[in-house]
């Protein structure tokens, strides 16, 4: 794969982080590779693993379960006369007949890709999730806040009540514009049920408080009971918990339906996996996350997935970790050829550079990618850690489907794949990376938020035009007013006010000082008029400069490391101010750490001589600076816009 045309470049620290993935104590995507499968909740009291084979047969409305079990000396796992098939667990080969469509091994064909030394480097003795996660003794400060905030958050509005996503993933989320998508979302996945058919889940983890389906809907097809709690003891331990937490980071109000089909070592019978899919369908899941796959196709799994998609259930599948350039694992390889292919979505992994991950499979069947390297998620026992693999890219798409599904009319929900793929950014090498904010805009009934830009002239210069374009791409309808023509009432019913440095400061003065709408300003002479600094003498602009120091873990940092960044591709003017001690100070001028280039006040906090009536952000932009923002400056601009509106 040739990615040489891409110009995105992480900072040195980010490169170090990428190199560190090969040395991480796990590097476990835990993408399960399997072949032929069987399924159902019909035999929840029967141990599917006791059967050596999965048998797929044709059935009609006149057939019945008892007769089939007697005829084939087995146990029916799924029974769908409406779709013309059933799957049984059997221990011996059937008599050949026109009714028999497939006879496949049920056990012993599962494997972890990380167990193959020719797939990815390993650290001997460190492959298991339980070992890897043991160093994380607590669930970490920001994650504790995140878990409790989402579970108790009841507002249907995306205004300033939206909690921030966990800081550990903020850089990756900004790559996919997740915070921007959540800033324009209305329902955040509320009402969507996503089945995680995997190794189970830690049902007591704080990340899932208030976010699980009723316990009566859970099932464990390994131990055959209603408790899909993860069990320690192997490489697969923690996989389902990790995946579920990623779904909820994207769609925080979605409902997770935990279904356990894999053992702690990552193995599982074919009939257990198919039974889990069937259970999910019967319990009303609209989305099924399958972060597992097969190195070869098989009739039983194919039939069950086709049955799910025929009922309008989205099945999101990972592409696999073999590093293949010609073949995905199944069922992902069927994503463009299955009968109901618009409901079957294949997902690969990209690094934080937006380049396709070395381990990610690729073929013409790969539909979309998401970050899958060193991503942070939950582990059992109130722990969290980083993981890598296409397994962890897939749940981000599952979560996005929930956002899309619950923010549009039911008549549009059969077209979510189109909205998703139409929004994706195309990269050299033949793959597409998701843009979550842009995906939201593809919804036919999407409502744009309203932004007011106060500018020097409505004939925009290149800098203001760049800001306006970026706003529109993030989901904002932009109105323009000149500084001289603007009045405070222009802020009414607006979600965001932006004041450019192209305005004449005396034309604006204190017009927007008391408005409740969030205000972002990069005209430094207005910092004092807005109550953000005490004196105009404590504001200014540096010319021929492009370096700023970013520090902290606040959402305004966009997840960037605490270091020096080039905010522009070449030197330009950088606005600065000296804010009050109550300000959130994010960045300073590299040549003078006493001069803040990005600072903010949250609503209700003390500014200079007043309480902030809404969020206020001062940015480093100059008159034309936005036209040549470096990648870091672009992330910081997007983070400022999103935080001002939603806190994320």
Active site residues: 198, 239, 391
Cα–Cα distance, 259 to 478 (Å, whole number): 45
Cα–Cα distance, 584 to 635 (Å, whole number): 18
Query: Is 32 in a helix, a strand, or coil?
Result: strand
Cα 266 to Cα 113, 222, 378, 560: the distances in Å are 10, 11, 17, 34
CB 406 within 8 A of CB 192: yes
* Residues with Cβ within 8 Å of residue 317, at least 6 apart in sequence: 290, 291, 292, 293, 331, 332, 335, 344, 345, 346, 347, 394
Nearest to 250 by CA among 321, 328, 330, 165: 165
* Residues with Cβ within 8 Å of residue 435, at least 6 apart in sequence: 176, 177, 423, 424, 425
Cα–Cα distance, 186 to 502 (Å, whole number): 33
Produce one character per residue of 312-334: b if its CB has 16 or more CB atoms within 10 Å, e if not: ebbbbbbbbbbbbeebbbbbbbb
Q: Counting beta carbons within 10 angstroms of the beta carbon of residue 368, is it exposed (0 to 12), middle (13 to 18) or buried (19 or more)?
A: buried
Nearest to 75 by CA among 84, 83, 62, 66: 66
Cα–Cα distance, 149 to 166 (Å, whole number): 11
CB 241 within 8 A of CB 380: yes
Cα–Cα distance, 584 to 431 (Å, whole number): 39
Cα–Cα distance, 25 to 131 (Å, whole number): 8
CB 609 within 8 A of CB 510: no
Cα–Cα distance, 110 to 115 (Å, whole number): 11
Nearest to 275 by CA among 80, 31, 61, 48: 48
Query: What is the DSSP pairing of strand 287-290 with strand 292-293?
Result: unpaired
Cα–Cα distance, 345 to 288 (Å, whole number): 11
Nearest to 174 by CA among 310, 42, 14, 383: 14
Cα–Cα distance, 302 to 273 (Å, whole number): 12
Distance of CA 374 to the CA centre of its chain: 13
CB 269 within 8 A of CB 46: no
Distance of CA 482 to the CA centre of its chain: 38
Cα–Cα distance, 509 to 499 (Å, whole number): 11
Cα–Cα distance, 270 to 149 (Å, whole number): 38
DSSP for residue 506? H
């Amino acid at each position: 794969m040739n990615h040489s045309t891409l110009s995105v470049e992480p900072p040195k620290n980010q490169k170090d982080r990428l190199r560190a993935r090969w040395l991480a104590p796990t590097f476990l995507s835990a993408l399960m590779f399997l072949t032929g499968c069987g399924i159902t909740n019909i035999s929840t009291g029967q141990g599917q693993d006791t059967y050596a084979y999965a048998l797929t047969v044709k059935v009609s409305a006149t057939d019945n379960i008892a007769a089939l079990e007697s005829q084939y000396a087995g146990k029916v796992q799924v029974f769908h006369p409406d779709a013309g098939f059933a799957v049984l667990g059997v221990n011996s080969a059937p008599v050949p007949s026109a009714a028999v469509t497939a006879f496949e091994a049920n056990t012993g064909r599962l494997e972890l890709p990380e167990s193959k030394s020719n797939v990815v480097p390993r650290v001997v003795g460190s492959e298991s999730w339980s070992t890897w996660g043991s160093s994380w003794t607590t669930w970490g400060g920001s994650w504790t806040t995140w878990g409790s905030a989402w579970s108790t958050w009841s507002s249907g509005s995306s205004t300033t009540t939206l909690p921030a996503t966990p800081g550990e993933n903020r850089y990756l989320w900004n790559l996919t514009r997740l915070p921007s998508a959540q800033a324009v979302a209305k329902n955040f996945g509320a009402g969507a049920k996503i089945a995680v058919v995997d190794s189970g889940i830690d049902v007591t983890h704080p990340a899932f408080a208030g976010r699980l389906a009723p316990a009566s809907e859970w099932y464990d097809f390994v131990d055959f009971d209603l408790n899909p709690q993860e069990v320690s003891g192997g490489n697969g331990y923690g996989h389902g918990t990790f995946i579920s937490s990623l779904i909820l980071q994207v769609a925080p109000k979605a409902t997770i339906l935990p279904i356990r089909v894999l053992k702690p070592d990552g193995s599982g019978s074919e009939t257990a996996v198919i039974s889990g899919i069937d259970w999910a369908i019967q319990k009303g899941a609209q989305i099924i996350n399958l972060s597992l796959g097969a190195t070869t196709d098989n009739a039983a799994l194919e039939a069950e997935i086709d049955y799910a998609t025929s009922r309008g259930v989205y099945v999101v599948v990972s592409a696999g970790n073999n590093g293949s350039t010609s073949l995905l694992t199944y069922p992902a390889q069927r994503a463009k050829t299955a009968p109901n292919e618009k409901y079957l979505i294949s997902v690969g992994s990209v690094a934080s550079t937006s380049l396709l991950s070395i381990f990610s499979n690729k073929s013409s069947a790969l539909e979309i990618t998401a970050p899958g390297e060193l991503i942070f998620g939950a582990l059992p026992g109130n722990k969290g850690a980083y993981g890598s693999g296409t397994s962890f890219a897939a749940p981000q798409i599952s979560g996005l489907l929930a956002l899309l599904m619950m923010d549009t009319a039911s008549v549009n929900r059969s077209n979510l794949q189109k909205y998703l793929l139409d929004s994706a950014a195309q990269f050299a090498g033949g793959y597409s990376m998701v843009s979550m904010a842009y995906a939201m805009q593809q919804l036919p009934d999407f409502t744009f938020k309203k932004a007011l830009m106060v500018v020097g002239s409505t004939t925009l210069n290149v800098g203001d035009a760049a800001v306006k374009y970026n706003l529109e791409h993030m989901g904002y309808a932009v109105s323009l007013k000149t500084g001289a023509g603007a009045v405070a009432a222009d802020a009414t019913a607006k979600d965001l006010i932006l004041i450019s440095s192209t305005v004449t400061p005396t034309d604006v003065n204190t017009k927007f000082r008391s408005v409740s709408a969030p205000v972002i300003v990069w005209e430094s002479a207005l910092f004092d008029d807005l109550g953000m600094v005490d004196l105009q003498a404590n504001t200014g602009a540096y010319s021929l400069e492009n370096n700023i120091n970013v520090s902290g873990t606040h959402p305004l940092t966009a997840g960037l490391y605490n270091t020096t960044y080039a905010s522009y591709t070449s030197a330009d003017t950088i606005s600065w101010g000296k804010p009050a001690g109550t300000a959130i100070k994010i960045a300073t001028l590299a040549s003078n750490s006493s001069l803040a280039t990005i600072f903010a006040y949250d609503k209700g906090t003390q500014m200079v001589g007043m309480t902030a009536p809404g969020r206020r952000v001062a940015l480093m932009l100059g008159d034309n600076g936005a036209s040549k923002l470096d990648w870091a400056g672009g992330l910081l601009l997007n983070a400022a816009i999103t935080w001002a509106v939603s806190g994320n």
